[in-house]
């Protein structure tokens, strides 16, 4: 009880909070990210309609401009509707949920993979290190979106047709996760190589602890702070990658549209004057990716003592 | 005459060659470094043996081999009659030997995991060797260890960065004591500390030796430390033992030129040379 209080007290007096409050850009970014995450989590409660419920859609509502009553049904939509008569605001909220879910899980996958490989490469050294790091080198030569598309393509080729849509999201997560592990592995490998020479690791080896235990219990906690920064920046990248893949039509299926899918749909109608179908999802994506990125930048500056 | 540890014709060679491909392209030969070259000595139970020598003379390599962190290239180390590096030993036998060997490291800053509380640092060897049953016994033993090195039981909840260099070295010593070892290798345990703190740490080590009958292998380049601590001194030069004497004899009448030079070069408090700044 008292320990928790002192933790809160320490947080209130910390440099972290002080620096945070001093940077208005960061505060705004943080508020935007938190709002968007809350919207995504409580999409069912917040969204005016459920865009996935095909029965509630009225084709007559199609192409309603924002804040104007529909010519046939008289219904008004805050952000207008798309070609199917789907309420754009609801579609964006639910799309946000897909985008954030895919982004977050992909980053977690990339992080687990990258941190584990980085730890092993740095701790083992020798040919294991060479093998893992050369694989990383080869991977960064290709743009990550290309790798994600490759993985996506292979998975779709291997899966039976009826499972493709069901597993599209999973495949998307794996594709993005596998294409973003390299920065984690490189950073963790470097820090691990420094940490493993320190005497506390020798002391742990001395009492006969195995490499696995030393890596997990001793080295891992000491290499995690740069990982936090990379995870934040990678989250922005993953969200954009997801949107790009969905925009290209190889990502989230139309039955479960993400922001990228909505942008693709909107793009079809941009030149026929229905600008809102493209603009609002694109603006949401921009706000999300930019805010996450700015948060990541700030975190990187804060956690790097040399920049202070 | 009971030798607790015998080092017999110990050698250790390091391979410093470039990677294979580089050697092939530039036609470079393999390069080796004999860090330890045919060194033999023995330490009696309850005594302190100091290895002195300049940096690069191989003293830390011997320390690492003596606790099993490194293997020897040839030669062997007998701990109470058991060969430390015997591959034929079972895991349980290895554990039993390992439990009797501990090490105190040079840097008080790098030798404690910065993310662990002191209590956990001290409890780790207890858990690994299953020396205590249950949380309460563990806590009791941790407190006992802290008090043994002159810290208080409440320090168990703190993190290493909350302590001074001397206090951290005490924590290192407490961790070394946790598995109730017979033999502790001290690798320059005081070289990173202030002189006043050095004396306290050395006194603590001496007290512990007296109370627990510990055998020490002391690695140092500081002759002042050696004089207080060691019963016997071995002088190392480029991996070879050039002289071995009991402390008083070695300091009063060193035989080899290298030892004479080492003693001459040790700084003294009283110095007739003018101070130039």
* Residues forming beta bridges with residue A261, ordered by sequence position: none
Nearest residue on chain A to B116, alpha-carbon basis: A218
Task: Determine the distance in angstroms separating the CA of A11 from the nearest CA of chain B, rounded to an integer.
Answer: 17
B-contacting residues in A 180-209 (Cβ below 8 Å):
198-200, 202-209
Residue with tokens 């390992």: B98
Q: Quick check: B274 pLDDT over 80?
A: no
Task: Determine the distance in angstroms separating the CA of A221 from the nearest CA of chain B, rounded to an integer.
Answer: 7
The domain covering A15-43+82-307 belongs, at the CATH homologous superfamily level, to: MetI-like (1.10.3720.10)
Structure tokens at B192: 């990173």
Nearest to A221 among B69, B106, B115 (CB): B115
Residues in chain B: 277
Residuewise pLDDT in 10s, chain A (308 residues)? 344 556 777 777 777 788 888 889 999 999 999 999 999 999 888 888 887 777 777 777 777 788 778 777 777 777 878 877 788 888 899 999 999 999 999 999 999 999 999 999 999 988 999 999 999 999 888 887 888 888 888 888 888 887 777 788 888 898 889 889 999 999 999 999 999 999 999 999 998 888 999 999 999 999 988 898 899 999 999 999 999 988 887 878 877 888 888 888 888 888 888 888 889 999 999 999 999 999 988 888 887 666 54
Tell me what the mean pLDDT of segment B35-44 comes to.
92
Distance (Å, whole) CA A286 – CA A232 = 16
Residues of chain A contacting B99 with CB distance shorter than 8 Å: 207
- What are the contacts of A242-246 at 24+ separation with CB within 8 A? A242/A99, A242/A102, A242/A103, A242/A106, A242/A172, A242/A176, A243/A99, A243/A285, A244/A145, A245/A145, A245/A148, A245/A149, A245/A152, A245/A172, A245/A175, A245/A176, A246/A172
Nearest to A200 among B95, B98, B110 (CB): B110
Distance (Å, whole) CA A128 – CA B120 = 32
**How far, rounded to the nearest angstrom, does the alpha carbon of residue A1 sit from its chain's CA centroid?**
35
- Given this model, what pLDDT does residue A2 score? 42
- Given this model, what pLDDT does residue B276 score? 52
- Given this model, what pLDDT does residue A46 score? 83
- Given this model, what pLDDT does residue A1 score? 38
DSSP string spanning B190-238? Answer: TTTS-HHHHHHHHHHHHHHHHHH--EEEEEES-HHHHHHH-SEEEEEET
CA quadruple A113, A118, A119, A125: dihedral positive or negative? positive
Task: Determine the distance in angstroms separating the CA of B137 from the nearest CA of chain A, rounded to an integer.
Answer: 20
Measured at the CA of A66, the angle between CA A52 and CA A60, to 5 degrees, comes to 55
* Residues forming beta bridges with residue B39, ordered by sequence position: B10
Task: Determine the distance in angstroms separating the CA of B258 from the nearest CA of chain A, rounded to an integer.
Answer: 31
Render pLDDT for B204-250 as a digit per residue (tens, 0 to 9). Answer: 999 999 999 999 999 988 888 888 889 999 999 988 999 998 988 88
Select from A206, A210, A223 the residue whose CB has the most chain B CBs within 10 Å, as the one to mutate to test that interface: A206
Whole-number Cα distances in Å, B23 to A111, B28, B29, B93: 37, 5, 7, 42
Maximum mean pLDDT: which of B19-23, B126-130, B170-174: B170-174
Select from A130, A207, A224 the residue whose CB has the most chain B CBs within 10 Å, as the one to mutate to test that interface: A207
- Structural domains of chain B sorted by starting position, each given as residue range(s) with its CATH number in brackets: 3-113+181-265 (3.40.50.300)
Structure tokens at A154: 């292979």
Helices (H), chain A: 2-13, 15-22, 24-41, 43-46, 88-124, 126-141, 144-158, 161-179, 182-196, 199-206, 211-213, 220-247, 259-269, 276-303
Q: Quick check: B277 pLDDT over 50?
A: no
Work out the mean pLDDT of chain B and round it to a whole number.
88
**How far, rounded to the nearest angstrom, does the alpha carbon of residue B177 sit from its chain's CA centroid?**
13
Starting from the edge strand earliest in sequence, which strands make up the sheet with B74-79, in order? B32-44, B3-15, B74-79, B82-83
Distance (Å, whole) CA B170 – CA B140 = 18
Kind of pairing, strands B82-83 and B74-79? antiparallel
Structure tokens at A155: 């998975």
Task: Determine the distance in angstroms separating the CA of A190 from the nearest CA of chain B, rounded to an integer.
Answer: 17
Structure tokens at A229: 């920064």
Select from B20, B113, B121 the residue whose CB has the most chain A CBs within 10 Å, as the one to mutate to test that interface: B113
Measured distance between the N- and C-terminal CA atoms of chain B, rounded to whole angstroms: 52
Burial of A138 (0-12, 13-18, 19+ CB in 10 A): exposed
Distance (Å, whole) CA B207 – CA B205 = 5
Task: Determine the distance in angstroms separating the CA of A150 from the nearest CA of chain B, rounded to an integer.
Answer: 33
Is A216 touching B (CB cutoff 8 A)?
no
**Side-chain half-sphere CA neighbours of A225 within 13 A:** 9
Nearest to A200 among B67, B68, B112 (CB): B112
Distance (Å, whole) CA A296 – CA B36 = 50
The band of B12, judged by pLDDT with boundaries at 50, 70 and 90, is very high
- Given this model, what pLDDT does residue A48 score? 82
Nearest to A200 among B102, B106, B113 (CB): B113
Q: Which of A262-266, B26-30, B272-276 has the lowest mean pLDDT?
A: B272-276
Is B105 touching A (CB cutoff 8 A)?
yes
Nearest to A207 among B105, B113, B128 (CB): B128
CB A303 within 8 A of CB A230: no
- Given this model, what pLDDT does residue B273 score? 54
Which has the closest alpha carbon to B38: B73, B63, B4?
Answer: B73
- Given this model, what pLDDT does residue A6 score? 67
Select from A208, A210, A213 the residue whose CB has the most chain B CBs within 10 Å, as the one to mutate to test that interface: A208
A-contacting residues in B 10-69 (Cβ below 8 Å):
67-69
Distance (Å, whole) CA B165 – CA A12 = 29
Render pLDDT for B152-168 as a digit per residue (tens, 0 to 9). Answer: 999 999 999 999 999 99
Backbone dihedral region for residue A63 (phi beyond 0: left; psi -120 to 50: alpha; all else: beta)? left
Render pLDDT for B167-208 as a digit per residue (tens, 0 to 9). Answer: 999 999 999 999 999 999 999 888 888 888 899 999 999 999
């Amino acid at each position: 009880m008292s320990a928790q209080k002192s933790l809160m007290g320490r947080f209130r007096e910390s440099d972290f909070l002080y620096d945070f409050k001093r940077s208005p850009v960061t505060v705004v970014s943080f508020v935007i990210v938190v709002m968007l995450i809350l919207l995504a989590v409580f999409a069912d409660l917040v969204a005016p309609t459920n865009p996935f419920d095909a029965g509630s859609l009225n084709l007559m509502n199609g192409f309603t401009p924002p804040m104007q009553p529909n010519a046939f049904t008289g219904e008004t939509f805050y952000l207008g509707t798309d070609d199917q008569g789907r309420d754009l605001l609801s579609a964006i909220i639910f799309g946000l949920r897909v985008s954030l879910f895919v982004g977050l899980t992909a980053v977690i996958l990339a992080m687990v993979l990258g941190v584990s490989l980085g730890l092993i490469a740095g701790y083992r050294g020798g040919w294991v290190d060479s093998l893992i790091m050369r694989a990383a080198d080869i991977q960064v030569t290709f743009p990550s979106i290309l790798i994600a598309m490759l993985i996506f393509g292979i998975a779709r080729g291997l899966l039976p047709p009826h499972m493709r849509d069901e597993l599209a999201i999973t495949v998307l997560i794996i594709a993005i996760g596998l294409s973003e592990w390299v920065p984690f592995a490189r950073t963790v490998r470097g820090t691990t190589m420094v940490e493993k020479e320190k005497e506390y690791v020798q002391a742990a080896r001395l009492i006969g602890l195995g490499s696995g235990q030393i890596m997990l219990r001793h080295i891992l906690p000491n290499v995690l702070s740069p990982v936090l920064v990379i995870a934040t920046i990678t989250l922005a990248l993953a969200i954009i990658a997801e949107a790009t893949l969905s925009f290209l039509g190889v990502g989230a299926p139309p039955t479960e549209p993400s922001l990228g899918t909505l942008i693709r749909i909107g793009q079809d109608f941009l030149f026929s004057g229905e600008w809102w179908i493209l603009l609002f999802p694109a603006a949401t994506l921009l706000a999300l990716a930019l805010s996450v990125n700015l948060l990541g930048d700030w975190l990187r500056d804060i956690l790097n003592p040399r920049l202070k | 005459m009971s030798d607790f540890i015998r080092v017999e014709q110990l050698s250790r060679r390091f391979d410093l060659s470039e990677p294979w491909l580089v050697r092939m392209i530039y036609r470079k030969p393999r390069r080796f470094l004999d860090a330890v070259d045919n060194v033999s000595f023995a330490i009696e139970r309850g005594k302190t043996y100091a290895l002195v020598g300049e940096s690069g003379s191989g003293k830390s390599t011997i320390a690492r081999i003596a606790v099993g962190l490194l293997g020897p290239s040839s030669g062997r180390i007998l701990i109470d009659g058991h060969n430390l590096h015997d591959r034929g030993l079972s895991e349980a036998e290895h554990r039993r030997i390992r439990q009797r060997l501990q090490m105190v490291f040079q840097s008080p800053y790098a030798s404690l995991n910065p993310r662990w509380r002191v209590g956990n640092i001290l409890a780790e060897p207890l858990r690994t060797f299953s020396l205590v049953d249950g949380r309460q016994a563990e806590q009791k033993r941790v407190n006992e260890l802290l008090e043994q090195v002159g810290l208080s039981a409440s320090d168990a909840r703190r993190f290493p960065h909350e302590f001074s260099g001397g206090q951290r070295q005490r924590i290192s010593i407490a961790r070394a004591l946790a598995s109730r070892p017979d033999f502790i290798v001290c690798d320059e345990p005081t070289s990173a500390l202030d002189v006043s703190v050095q004396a306290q740490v050395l006194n603590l080590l001496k007290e512990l030796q007296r109370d627990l009958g510990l055998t020490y292998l002391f690695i140092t380049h500081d002759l002042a430390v050696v004089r207080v601590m060691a019963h016997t001194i071995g002088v190392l030069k480029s991996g070879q033992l050039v002289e071995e004497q009991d402390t008083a004899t070695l300091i009063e009448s060193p035989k080899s030129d290298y030892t004479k030079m080492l003693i001459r070069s040790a700084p003294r408090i009283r110095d007739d040379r003018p101070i130039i700044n």
